[in-house]
Amino acid sequence: MRLYTVLFLVAVSLAESVSIKSLVFPSETSTSYVGMVPLKPLNLRAFTLCMRVATELTGRREIVLFAYRTQRADELNVWRELDGRLSFYLVDEPVFFRVPDIGALQTHLCVTWDSSSGAAALFMDGRKSLTKIFKKGHTVQPGGKVIIGQDLDSYVGSFDAKQSFVGEIGDINMWDSVLSDRMIQDMFSGKRVPRGNVFDWETTQLNINGEVVVVNTPQ
């Protein structure tokens, strides 16, 4: 009976173990990128966008972390700026946050925005920035493309290697609402939260291009 109990516990442990994939961009290129297929159109009056990211790129170098573009404009981009600030853009207009640098150690990053109030905030490793008022009344338009690793300078795809991402990025999830501070903190600490309804990293289709390597890490 004792042996059966041990075997049962081992089987349960194996069944509960999971791995999470991440995307490694090993070098600066204008050809490596990943397309993400959303679960629903990005017709957004609020959102929470989260990811885990690490990079050793330093100095005065822009890095694009998330790019969503329609034929009309860059609807939603997330950047590390030349001076190290983090930002996100809605229709080419930015809001900036002066926060600690992203480095080789993995950072859990979330940005939140609500159109009704204009409230925009950034979370790093569960810690929330100040709130800024940005693009009140705006709506993110659907019908575009989401790219990881490059900035879409045009809808058909025109990339600048000097803006490309080099490093590791993953656990990219997006909701069409603003998550509570507690849920974002739980996500950072590894607790299960409701899956993203715009992008769910566990199920979202990824289209890999170039030298990107998909790595699965046991959790």
- pLDDT digits over 84-130, tens only? 999 999 998 999 999 999 999 999 999 999 999 999 999 999 999 99
pLDDT of residue 145: 94
With beta carbons less than 8 A apart as the criterion, state whether 126 and 108 touch. yes
Quick one: which H or E segment has residue 174? Answer: strand 167-175
Position 14 confidence tier, pLDDT thresholds 50, 70, 90: very low
- Structural domains in the chain, sorted by start: 19-218 (2.60.120.200)
With beta carbons less than 8 A apart as the criterion, state whether 188 and 29 touch. no
Q: Is the pLDDT of residue 144 over 80?
A: yes
